[in-house]
Amino acid sequence: MKFKLDGTVIRFIIVGVVNTLFGTAIMFVFYNVFHLSYWISSASNYFFGSILSYFLNKGYTFRYGKTDFKSIFRFTVNILVCYLLAYGIAKPVMRHLLSGYSQSIQENVSMMLGMVLFVGLNYLGQRYFAFKKDEKSNDPDSVL
């Protein structure tokens, strides 16, 4: 797996901004307005955001032409693994670092850290797993 800086990075960032605004709004409204739990609020972000993300990243970012069970399954596995890793790491780290603060502050900061961790893991997972292209094909987006 060799990382290449190419057009997918820029497109992923554009899609990510749209998706982040959408999902973050859901997560923080669910947590702070509806007082749902950390896990339900953050999972709702990725449940609803992932539906939007699948279609935008499949068609626009990675230009993956097929809609098949394999890509949907791999995308779903990627999202679940990235979510569990990112938020599973973020919560205990912030609980430790912010131990003198309220649970609400700890969990709001944990959700922000979880988002940052998720983005990096998710890009790698989508590029090299969910929407992996055939190695033999020519990639018109390649810059390096």
What local confidence, expressed as pLDDT, does residue 98 receive? Answer: 98
Tell me the pLDDT tens digit for each residue of 62-112.
Answer: 888 777 788 889 999 999 999 999 999 999 999 999 999 999 999 999 999
Q: Tell me phi and psi for residue 75, to 5 degrees.
A: -60, -45
pLDDT at 1: 52
Instruction: Give percent of the chain with pLDDT exceeding 70.
Output: 89
What is the spatial distance between Cα 77 and Cα 81, in angstroms, rounded to a whole number?
A: 6
Q: Does 135 have pLDDT greater than 90?
A: no
Q: Residue with structure tokens 């890509």?
A: 71
CA distance 102 to 77: 33
B/e letters for 77-106, b = 16+ CB within 10 Å, e = fewer, are ebbeebbeebbeebbebbeeebeeeeeeeb
So what's the pLDDT on residue 4?
63
Provide CB contacts within 8 A for 105, sequence distance 6+.
98
Q: Look up the pTM and report it.
A: 0.74
Residue 136 has pLDDT above 70, yes or no: no
pLDDT at residue 141 above 60?
A: no
When the pLDDT of each residue in the chain is averaged and rounded to a whole number, the result is 87
